[in-house]
Amino acid sequence: MIQRYQGQQTQWRLSFVSDSEKAMTLTPGDGPCAWTVHVGSSDELTPERLRRAAAKAVKTMKELGGKTGVLDAAPLLPILGPAAGAALTQGAELALHEAPSFATGTPKEPITLWLDGDCDGLDQALQETAQLTRSICLARDLVNCPANKLTPALMAEEMTREAEALGIQCQVLDEHQARTLGMEAFLTVGSSALHPPRLIVLRYRGGGDEDPICLVGKGVTCDTGGYCLKAASSMKGIKGDMAGAAAVWGAVLALAANHVPVNVTAVIPSVENRISPDSYIPGDVIGSMSGKTIEVGNTDAEGRLILADGVTYAIREEHAARIVDIATLTGAVVGMFGFTTAGYLSNNEGFSDAFQAAYHRSGEQYWPLPTFPEYRKMIESPLADLSNTSSDGCGTITAGLFIGAFAEDKPWIHIDIAGTAWVDSPRFEYQTKGATGAGVTTLYELCKGYAQEV
Ligand code: BES
Ligand code: ZN
Ligand code: ZN
């Protein structure tokens, strides 16, 4: 965590100033390691802009070999208040957080930063942001973890270890317990591998006795495609197919660490999608916890199968008041929005408005997708209640609507982060190569928006 500056000797001083002609450029200051970072005019100043500016500045410092630095927020605090300090520290920390290496040899020397400047409420804002940043980094680490070191059971262990340390109530269901609940869609995918599936449930109770918001995250620890095997060139990122799971875990950790007065339950169906002698194959018809039957059109459309049961579990067993599912679900969303923007759809205007307000606060980019009745027809099946593939394209929308068919009458949002969860090269300055931690801050803000007044 970035501490408050108390006169330590540092190699670098990065001062952030607004209302300059030059937007977000670095200019040398009066010493060899004193730089002034121009962040643009004060009427256009946003926390997101500052996250990017701080990230760019510390990456530059790092490239030039700097090991210690102070971020001077003083000129910006009168303009944006404590949010300026929070955004600068978050941008800097995220920019420096890299995927852990398994290479042998001497580890890199760490970089230490401090924040200079003061205003009312700064300590509290820095505390909250530090917890959020930590959760984003934990989510990134989990997604970066190779699949051979993160089976569903190992993911359950890692998630519950961090959650229990924050007083979150944890339950991990194995395949036998899932069988008792009738989670056939989840188990069908889950039995494609030697490593058995797990349903991970994390219950954070910061609110009163109201029913929880349930965050359902796709936890496919590796997605080979199953019998509809992916091409070798599409297999590089398959370990990252649990980024939805990491996002809901990170959000719940941050809510608990910050004692946000709200009830939230993370529901994480975790499986490997592989090939075994008894794996499911295209043409199979399977059941689900809801009772609905599903025709399997493609074994690589596994995410919606496990999420369907995750959503039914959230309604039946966790009494969800509202449901969000989040997943690296379709290649189609990457074609539409690229690596900077996630797509979402919803069955409820009020909930959707709350989500929009949440991503405006977090600074992450999302864009809504339509849910016209014609799209529902595309996932009809001649021999079952639903098909897990579309008969007529529109891959992202139809995948979402498939999951929505299990949401019953609950306000529900589906988020597809297949494009934003992973970057081979950073699209925003505060990203580093690999997992981005997509979704953590927006889900946190969404749940915080439902917090009780205290
Ligand atoms: N996990 C993938 C989606 C994905 C693609 C994530 C690219 C990240 C990057 C998902 O399970 C999948 O394979 N979806 C298929 C669905 C199709 C077979 C209907 C897809 O999008 O191609
Ligand atoms: Zn797949
Ligand atoms: Zn997948």
pLDDT at 126 over 80: yes
The H helix count followed by the E strand count for the chain is 14, 20
Q: Note the pLDDT of residue 279.
A: 98
Burial class (CB in 10 A: 0-12, 13-18, 19+), 279: middle
Residue-wise pLDDT for 309-350, tens only, equals 999 999 999 999 999 999 999 999 999 999 999 999 999 999
Residue-wise pLDDT for 171-199, tens only, equals 999 999 999 999 999 999 999 999 999 99
Which ligand is the nearest neighbour of the Cα of 269?
3
Confidence of residue 22 (pLDDT cuts 50, 70, 90): confident
Q: What percent of the chain clears pLDDT 70, i.e. is strictly above it?
A: 100
Residue-wise pLDDT for 79-118, tens only, equals 999 999 999 999 999 999 999 899 998 888 899 999 999 9
| 400 C-alpha to ligand 2 centroid (Å) | 14
Give the bridge partners for 38, in sequence order: 17, 25
| 214 C-alpha to ligand 3 centroid (Å) | 21
Confidence of residue 30 (pLDDT cuts 50, 70, 90): confident
Among 96-110, 113-127, 195-209, 357-371, the minimum mean pLDDT is found in: 96-110
Name the residue of 330, 333, 339, 398 whose CB sits within 8 Å of the most ligand 1 atoms, as the mutation to test its pocket.
Answer: 330
Confidence of residue 165 (pLDDT cuts 50, 70, 90): very high
Please, are residues 73 and 117 in contact by the beta-carbon 8 Å criterion? Answer: yes
Residue-wise pLDDT for 406-454, tens only, equals 999 999 999 999 999 999 999 999 999 999 999 999 999 999 999 986 6
Q: For residues 282 and 298, what is the distance between their CA atoms, to the nearest angstrom? A: 5
Q: Is 304 a catalytic residue?
A: yes
Mean per-residue pLDDT over the chain, rounded: 97
Q: How many CB atoms lie within 10 A of CB 165?
A: 11
Please, are residues 95 and 432 in contact by the beta-carbon 8 Å criterion? Answer: yes
Q: Note the pLDDT of residue 454.
A: 60
Q: For residues 159 and 248, what is the distance between their CA atoms, to the nearest angstrom? A: 11
Which ligand is the nearest neighbour of the Cα of 240?
1
Q: For residues 330 and 262, what is the distance between their CA atoms, to the nearest angstrom? A: 31
Q: Is 149 a catalytic residue?
A: no
Which ligand is the nearest neighbour of the Cα of 388?
1
Nearest to 315 by CA among 297, 342, 292, 349: 292
Amino acid letter, residue 155: M
pLDDT at 353 over 70: yes
Ligand 1 site residues, Cβ closer than 6 angstroms: 223, 237, 241, 298, 300-303, 328-332, 334, 389, 395, 418
| 448 C-alpha to ligand 3 centroid (Å) | 29
Amino acid letter, residue 108: K
Q: Note the pLDDT of residue 241.
A: 98
Catalytic residue among 56, 274, 304, 448: 304
| 123 C-alpha to ligand 1 centroid (Å) | 43
Q: For residues 386 and 196, what is the distance between their CA atoms, to the nearest angstrom? A: 26
DSSP 360-400: HHH---EEE----HHHHHTT--SSSSEESS-SSS-HHHHHH
- The residue whose CA is least distant from atom 7 of ligand 1 is 331
Please, are residues 141 and 104 in contact by the beta-carbon 8 Å criterion? Answer: no
